[in-house]
Structure 1
Amino acid sequence: SQGSPLSWEETKRHADHVRRHGILQFLHIYHAVKDRHKDVLKWGDEVEYMLVSFDHENKKVRLVLSGEEVLETLQEKGERTNPNHPTLWRPEYGSYMIEGTPGQPYGGTMSEFNTVEDNMRKRRKEATSLLGENQALCTITSFPSSSICCRLGCPGFTLPEFKPNPVEGGASKSLFFPDEAINKHPRFSTLTRNIRHRRGEKVVINVPIFKDKNTPSPFIETFPEDEEAAKASKPDHIYMDAMGFGMGNCCLQVTFQACSISEARYLYDQLATICPIVMALSAASPFYRGYVSDIDCRWGVISASVDDRTREERGLEPLKNNNYRISKSRYDSIDSYLSECGEKYNDIDLTIDKEIYEQLLQEGIDHLLAQHVAHLFIRDPLTLFEEKIHLDDANESDHFENIQSTNWQTMRFKPPPPNSDIGWRVEFRPMEVQLTDFENSAYVVFVVLLTRVILSYKLDFLIPLSKVDENMKVAQKRDAVLQGMFYFRKDICKGGNTVVDGYGKAQNSTEQALEEYALMSIDTIINGKEGVFPGLIPILNSYLENMEVDVDTRCSILNYLKLIKKRASGELMTVARWMREFIANHPDYKQDSVITDEMNYSLILKCNQIANELCECPELLGPAFRKVKYSGSKTDSST
């Protein structure tokens, strides 16, 4: 939306109005479409990109703050000229970021899987064609930056160069992150400012530093110029103080349209248990603010970067001005399952708005969906445009989406927009973006295929939600893909359906009395282990064998699954592990956890070469990395 953003004090005055009308808007949508059934599973991916500029002479790389201009040109040449253009482009938080999606959703046929990589390549080529000399479009999750260029009074990490503005009047008041690096659309700076104002202080992000041979112990940074930072920063941690350190990261997401509301709720629950597994598998962000960290994923960083909870809500002071103690940031893992089969596994205390909950029950909403919405609506709206206060609740959904879209959880349950032909949707949100279109396609295809298998075989991955939360914590740790142990359901075949020969029956006859879940490695979960778990890849392969798939598509899918299989087993590195090895082996690295400008330059240059297939990277992609050259023609199985 466009409009005149209100300050936090003005937004706060309208918070109850937004919540009240947001619920009315949800009820209008629900009653209009609760019985809608769709035949086709549609889906699409979102890839976020960073714009960077290489200074080859001085061996530096900077973030280019031209995202808005590039976006405007892409939209003008694309969707505004041709509604059927194969790509769509949208703004993202950083002014050095853009987001690309396919122009139309993918459909239900297997051959669609063979077009994903081709479309991602189109996006990369389209956006790259608009960049200047020595500029590049990168799919990296977090920009490592350099510690010497992220401090007050030091050279900036952006092009053009801007200094941070920690004094009052700035949106983030960050010691490190300039407001000019925030997208100029009023939504983003208003979000930044209002999160800080609502919280009553700057956001606090403390990431554990990786203790290398020469890393100071304890590792302590001093901030004499900022008393708030001095109090907030922790020993042996990398301190960050702005929304940009989280929302300025890039990710990879997939949205599915289900056939009905009940199918959407079922998929939401089943995929929620998969989120930590796929997050660890896609780990790609080991560096923050110029230091080597002891985590591999961005999730907790973003969670802290938008944590608008007051001291009362965080349990640090008695409740006086706020209504609830809230256990999590508004960017975190889900807090309740939505399907009937998930109800018995809802073991997390759920904070809800009781009045909203009762209102929804009286309107015919069932207990599980009512508590889900009433939980989302304990949050305040963070941005509000003056022109969008009074709306037609029967035909608009801005107030509902205002709360819904700022609850950034691992999964998002998405009702249809009013008066549209879009169905009930589910968004899968935990993945880190990968360096190449091949890798990003592999992760997308893996997740989409998994939804087909879940629905076809009626699989059941549900475990107590508290265990999923524990898995989320493990998934972010360094080398979690190899070292971590994750709670996972042992018998995923409801009623003993034999998905992998003999597995379902054996489990049902011999293990009925045992615990439903156990600790497993990602290798076991993905690739299987005899007598323990059949493995998701073998189940996907079994599904593919029973499907009519043309040779070309089958070949592409198997290549994608091979990448996932080898990442899970450790035969191939995650992007995070590969980046760590690259920095560790850099001639300038002093084993002190510091990433210099030149090391940062070398890393991003290498990432860009890999992404554009200018060099091979067998540790990441395997020795026989197949470059898909999709011609647009359909190949039948006789080829």
Structure 2
Amino acid sequence: MGLLTAGEPLSWAETKKYADFVRREGAKQFVRLWRKHLNSTGAALFWGDEIEYILVRIDPETKEASLLLMAAELLPYLQWEETHSPPGTPIEMLWRPEYAAYMIEGTPGKPFGHLPEYLNTVEYNMQRRRDLVQKRLPENCYIMCLTTFPRLGCPNFTYPPAPPTPNSGASRSIFYPENAIFGAHPRFKTLTRNIRERRGSKVAINLPIFRDVNTPNPFIEDLTLYHDGKDPSATSAALPDHVYLDAMGFGMGCCCLQVTFQGCCVSEARMLYDQLTTICPIVMALSAATPAIRGYLLDVDCRWGIISGAVDDRTEEERGVKVA
């Protein structure tokens, strides 16, 4: 995921000074790499999975589930083999931080190959990753493969409890607390703040409510319970018949399974892309992986719409809301 390993990220005010330069040089770099590798052949097909896991705590008395803000404590233990082994030592699994303080990302130590026998090792490696994390977790805490925690954004959905800070912090969310963002690396809060500052407002995600016979029509949520009313724009983007979300964490705080391929040549990469382009939307819909958020049932199939809204940094002019 290209984590920063040295230096400090730039604020939006600093970044926009170099925006044109980055766009121009990035396009040039892409063209150079494309020409360099266009006719390359002879490489082997490699692929691998990336799984974003969610950490959950079950209260032993009330049996209520909450998100465990423990990723920063876990990662040094999980990365010990990688950081303490001599260069060139085979590593069984790799671990990386993710956006939320209740998320971790695990991958195989090296990519799988094209031979059928590699398929026999995939599930075993996945299970080994889960076992390693589970052994490090306290009692009543679990590693899970959930795309979206159903109570994400509800009051006290984290452990330890962390209140939102709508008047300060990176996101200014009335639902999503600052402490739920992974704080041991500057990337995540910087992204959150820069998107909000470039956009000129908080992100606004409106997801259609799932309707049944008991759903009010229209469905209009009373959001005054979540803020003090000092900021009139705190909930002004909320739409009727939708569940309103106002932070990058609602999208980037979702988990998923991703698979990355390296084709042996450009032609094979194109073939893989064309085949997967038709399959992936169907599988995503069949997964029905995001049935609920903020305690409400949603009329959506997957996290795609949530994530796209969570990183929408377009200004009002770019969104067509306001004439420049």
Per the normalisation by structure 2, the TM-score is 0.91
Contact 1:87/1:101 (8 A) holds in 2: yes
Q: 1:267 deviation in Å?
A: 2.2
Hey, what does 2:120 align to over in structure 1?
A: 114
Hey, what does 1:392 align to over in structure 2?
A: none
RMSD, aligned CA: 1.7
Asked if 1:100 corresponds to 2:100, the answer is no
Q: 1:200 deviation in Å?
A: 0.9
Higher relative contact order (CA 8 A, sep 6+): 2
Contact 1:222/1:230 (8 A) holds in 2: no
Cα displacement string for residues 449-471 of structure 1 (whole angstroms, at most 9, x for unaligned residues):
xxxxxxxxxxxxxxxxxxxxxxx
Q: Which of 21, 27, 32 lines up with 2:25 in the alignment?
A: 21
Hey, what does 1:346 align to over in structure 2?
A: none
User: Between the two proteins, what is the percent identity of the paired residues?
Assistant: 55
Asked if 1:308 corresponds to 2:307, the answer is no
Hey, what does 1:234 align to over in structure 2?
A: 239
SS in structure 1 of the partner of residue 235 of structure 2: helix
C-alpha distance in 1 between matches for 2:263 and 2:84: 28
Aligned residue runs from structure 1 range 561-600, under 5 A: none
C-alpha distance in 2 between matches for 1:38 and 1:130: 42
Hey, what does 2:8 align to over in structure 1?
A: 4
Hey, what does 2:50 align to over in structure 1?
A: 46
Q: 1:239 deviation in Å?
A: 0.6
Cα displacement string for residues 162-200 of structure 1 (whole angstroms, at most 9, x for unaligned residues):
110111x31000000001111111111111111111111
The verdict on how the C-alpha distance between 1:261 and 1:273 changes in structure 2, with shifts beyond 3 A counting, is same
Structure 1 portions without partners, runs of 5+: 151-155, 321-639
Contact 1:208/1:293 (8 A) holds in 2: yes
Letter in 1 for 2:102: Y
Q: Point out 4+ residue stretches in structure 1 off by more than 6 angstroms.
A: none
Hey, what does 2:146 align to over in structure 1?
A: 140
Aligned residue pairs total 312
Question: Normalized per residue, which structure has more helix?
Answer: 1
C-alpha distance in 2 between matches for 1:89 and 1:257: 20
Contact 1:172/1:243 (8 A) holds in 2: yes
Hey, what does 1:182 align to over in structure 2?
A: 181
Contact 1:95/1:182 (8 A) holds in 2: yes
Cα displacement string for residues 541-574 of structure 1 (whole angstroms, at most 9, x for unaligned residues):
xxxxxxxxxxxxxxxxxxxxxxxxxxxxxxxxxx
Asked if 1:89 corresponds to 2:88, the answer is no
Letter in 2 for 1:133: E
Asked if 1:36 corresponds to 2:40, the answer is yes
Aligned residue runs from structure 1 range 390-429, under 5 A: none
The verdict on how the C-alpha distance between 1:71 and 1:58 changes in structure 2, with shifts beyond 3 A counting, is same
Contact 1:38/1:258 (8 A) holds in 2: no
Contact 2:196/2:203 (8 A) holds in 1: yes
C-alpha distance in 2 between matches for 1:288 and 1:23: 38
Q: 1:78 deviation in Å?
A: 4.0
Letter in 2 for 1:137: I
Cα displacement string for residues 374-410 of structure 1 (whole angstroms, at most 9, x for unaligned residues):
xxxxxxxxxxxxxxxxxxxxxxxxxxxxxxxxxxxxx
Hey, what does 2:170 align to over in structure 1?
A: 171
Letter in 1 for 2:45: L
Contact 1:223/1:229 (8 A) holds in 2: no
Hey, what does 2:298 align to over in structure 1?
A: 293
Per the normalisation by structure 1, the TM-score is 0.47
Contact 1:286/1:294 (8 A) holds in 2: yes
Letter in 2 for 1:220: I
C-alpha distance in 1 between matches for 2:189 and 2:303: 21
SS in structure 1 of the partner of residue 221 of structure 2: coil
SS in structure 2 of the partner of residue 313 of structure 1: coil
Hey, what does 1:206 align to over in structure 2?
A: 206
Moved more, 196-205 or 210-219: 210-219
Hey, what does 1:76 align to over in structure 2?
A: 80
Whose radius of gyration is greater, 1 or 2? 1
Contact 1:146/1:291 (8 A) holds in 2: no
C-alpha distance in 1 between matches for 2:322 and 2:248: 24
Hey, what does 2:162 align to over in structure 1?
A: 162
C-alpha distance in 2 between matches for 1:211 and 1:108: 45
Structure 2 portions without partners, runs of 5+: none
